[in-house]
Amino acid sequence: MKRPNIENEIEATLKSLDKIERIEAPPFFYSRLQQKMASGKSSSLLISFSIFSRPIVAVAALFIFIVLNSVAISNVWQQKHRSIASPAATLNSFAKDYDLGISTVYEQ
């Protein structure tokens, strides 16, 4: 069981805001607000760039950069490998792409 003086202290603490009064806003509040609004407009570009300084965004961007680069490198490597492995296949696909196998009326 709580001691009566603790009980009283809790009640007094809970009532300590009963007579609270509103205080004035800091002096020159409007002037400082205008200043902030003006600086906010000029630095909106800076704010949008500052998003990239967040660690989570930077790590995500780095991850995407690495993934895209590895995909690009593997594509280049595969193409190179394919062309080295079978030059005949490359020639065939080139001929197919440009319809070199089809005879035209002028050739008849």
The site for another protein (CB under 8 A) is made up of 2, 6, 9-10, 12-14, 16-26, 29-30, 32-33, 36-37, 40
Closest CA to 101 of 87, 91, 85, 82: 91
Measured distance CA(11)–CA(17) in Å, rounded: 11
Q: Which is nearer to another protein, 30 or 106 (CB)?
A: 30
Q: Supply the minimum distance, in Å, between the C-beta of residue 54 and another protein.
A: 11
Q: Which is nearer to another protein, 23 or 45 (CB)?
A: 23
Tokens, residue 46: 């800076």
